[in-house]
Structure 1
Amino acid sequence: MNINELYKKLKQLNDIEKYTYDLYNTRITSEVDIRLKEHFSNKVKNDLWIINNEKLMNESEVIAIHKHDRFIKFDKHKHDYLEMMFVYSGKINQVIEGGKIVIEKGEILLLDMNVEHSIEAAGFDDIAINVLIKKEFFDWIFMSQIADNDLISNFIVEAIYGKNKFKQYIHFKTSENDKVCNFMIQILMEYYDKKNGMETAIRAYMMLLFNELLRDYKKYLTSEMVSKIDSTISTEILNYINKNYKVITLKSMADHFSYNPDYIGKLVKKIIGKTLTELVKEKKIKQSEYLLHNTKMSVIDVITEVGYSNVSYFYRQFKDQVGVTPDEYRKK
């Protein structure tokens, strides 16, 4: 497939577009609206429309590509996957969390799973591509490549395990970046050609695409939003440590957040400035200080209560952090 063949492919009407073409710029009936929601969702609820990856992706797929359906308005909805929209031609008008956004030709919009948005009906020349990304795509190999970039790695982590606390998106205004456009065109040609090695090639181009986006990321997000993302992730991590400090390991925390241990270790150090070992030690010693000061528990019982099994090691750790031994601390 070449660029001209790709253009013709994308301009063609798919089944949904053929069905809705005559209704473009007219009021869509409630019956059509319900059919649309049933096509994209497992459950249709008027107050909350969630587009399901099961409707759009095979179980084995971690990345899927779908041309955005033209001539129809998408009411307010969320996704259960990360979505990246690339505007191939024309423009796409969206309302995201109450604010109007226009994504122009060559630009990219990255949405997390928590964001509510609606999309105005696209015209014949308004062609956009939706890249659907499951969290499995961001395995430790991929994350290791972007872990040094605060914005994207934190965005992805918070999108996946942020418990809907912070809704975020990034609008990459890359219309003048030829590399971004070329990478997306290569991804699309691989996807539509269906040749051997397609999945490997798409992953490689996605890596290059994200690498290019990272280079100028500061243009696309305010310092306030970056700070909010960092703060929310820090809170999630510290809350988990405070609840599980007696038995926590890097592996157990990685399992909880569905990430590779090496990556979550880097994330903790980057966001909080200390290693998991340092944070757990501080929590255990702080808790032992509290127990020594406020209870009549023996030192041995305190040691056991906070999760230590080696008495002499605890004494060394306590004196290193507090400056005195546990016995001396209690006598103060």
Structure 2
Amino acid sequence: MDKQLDELLHQLTDVEKIQQQTHEYVQDLPDDTIDASSDDYIHLNNRHFFRNKDIYVSKHNRYARYPLHTHQFLELNYMYSGHCVQYIDGKQVTLNSGDVVLLNKGSSHSLEALGDNDILINILFRNKSIHLDLLDKLYDSDSVLFNFLMNTTTRNQTEPLYILFKKHGNSDVTHIINTVLSEYFFSRKFSNQIISSYLPILLITLVRDYQSEIINKSKQRLNDPVMLTVLKDIEKGYATVSLQSVAKELNYNRYYLSNLIKKKTGSTFTELLNQQKLLQAQLLITSTKLPISQIIRQVGFSNKNYFYSKYQEKYGHLPTETRNNK
């Protein structure tokens, strides 16, 4: 499979064939993916990348400089082979084979043209792809990655930030990413679930095996065990948890905790809870044959019409369309 993957990644795409001849950037994304474009920035949204999936993987097209762009999702760049030079929030960053850079939401970056053997992999994921058990483990180790992910999750980060992971000795990172790539490009049954399961393993392995450099203009670190408890309780007990039960666990006044959650995350407790319920509902819709009505009850929605309204608001279509597309 590794040989087959290697051949696929080195094979010229249609865009690369053009860029190889012209050395000029070819825009290959759907028009509705770009919210705004100017001489300074291209602003990318989530619509194209996360249709019926939480993680999007692609090979970066070679032979032309990629213009400055920004987006509202997390991006992991992995240097599969060769090297690349990119500029992240104005700072030059060079990746060599095996290196990884993790970019925060809102970071701006551009890339110099890649050569024949420069294979750069983009792995895009949303906050909900980050399992709270992962944050808990990283919090115990006082990891720089915990602070990065926690800032992203709670929206308490005012400055763009990224982490550069430099390969150092032997590591399982290459094997993990190659497994993710094989499952993605040679999709089989349950490939999406396998890829999602590998994401926390990949992040923890990066912390363990790689030398990391955290780049944060404000140099602020956030360790917020209260918000971590709230988010963990929502993730684990989404079907039955309530603001009152979480407030009792933390020994907080319910109204005070409600205001604190809004201040820290930008969302109400109910909004966070609905996000988790909808995520679980979508997972059950795409990975099981359970009736939609049973899924609605199982994830904790008591009003079917309310569920359908929120689901369509979040995903842009009804649950039956999700299942049919899957």
Per the TM superposition, whether the score is higher than 0.5 is yes
Aligned residues: 245
Instruction: Give distance in 1, aligned partners of 2:37 and 2:196.
Output: 33
How many angstroms does 1:211 deviate by? 1.4
Q: 1:148 to 1:258 in 2, by over 3 A?
A: farther
Q: Say which is worse superposed, 42-51 or 224-233, in terms of deviation.
A: 224-233
| 1:288 corresponds to | none
How many angstroms does 1:69 deviate by? 1.2
- In the alignment, residue 179 of structure 1 is paired with which amino acid? D
| 2:300 corresponds to | none
SS of the residue aligned with 1:212? helix
Instruction: Name the structure with the higher strand share.
Output: 2
SS of the residue aligned with 1:43? strand
- Of 50, 54, 68 in structure 1, the residue corresponding to residue 47 of structure 2 is 54
| 1:202 corresponds to | 195
Contiguous gaps of at least 5 residues in structure 1: 238-243, 265-332
SS of the residue aligned with 2:150? helix
Instruction: Give distance in 2, aligned partners of 1:5 and 1:120.
Output: 27
SS of the residue aligned with 2:15? helix
Instruction: Give distance in 2, aligned partners of 1:38 and 1:72.
Output: 20
Flag the structure with larger Rg.
1
TM-score, L = length of structure 1: 0.64
How many angstroms does 1:201 deviate by? 1.5
| 2:261 corresponds to | 253
Instruction: Give distance in 2, aligned partners of 1:35 and 1:227.
Output: 35
- In the alignment, residue 265 of structure 2 is paired with which amino acid? F
| 1:92 corresponds to | 84
| 2:69 corresponds to | 77
SS of the residue aligned with 1:54? coil
- In the alignment, residue 249 of structure 1 is paired with which amino acid? L
- Of 54, 58, 80 in structure 2, the residue corresponding to residue 66 of structure 1 is 58
SS of the residue aligned with 1:55? coil
Q: Contact 1:149–1:214 at 8 Å: present in 2 too?
A: no
How many angstroms does 1:11 deviate by? 0.8
| 2:111 corresponds to | 119
Q: Contact 2:32–2:47 at 8 Å: present in 1 too?
A: no
CA RMSD of aligned residues (A): 3.6
Matched, 1:172 2:172: no
| 2:11 corresponds to | 12
Q: 1:36 to 1:187 in 2, by over 3 A?
A: closer
| 1:152 corresponds to | 145
Q: Contact 2:60–2:120 at 8 Å: present in 1 too?
A: yes
Contiguous gaps of at least 5 residues in structure 2: 229-251, 273-326
Instruction: Name the structure with the higher helix share.
Output: 1
Q: 1:56 to 1:142 in 2, by over 3 A?
A: same
Q: Contact 2:135–2:150 at 8 Å: present in 1 too?
A: no
SS of the residue aligned with 2:194? helix
How many angstroms does 1:173 deviate by? 0.6
Q: Contact 1:37–1:44 at 8 Å: present in 2 too?
A: no
Q: 1:246 to 1:9 in 2, by over 3 A?
A: closer
Instruction: Give distance in 1, aligned partners of 2:258 and 2:32.
Output: 41
Instruction: Give distance in 1, aligned partners of 2:264 and 2:71.
Output: 22
TM-score, L = length of structure 2: 0.65
SS of the residue aligned with 1:53? coil
Provide the identity percentage.
24
Q: Contact 2:101–2:165 at 8 Å: present in 1 too?
A: yes
- In the alignment, residue 61 of structure 1 is paired with which amino acid? K
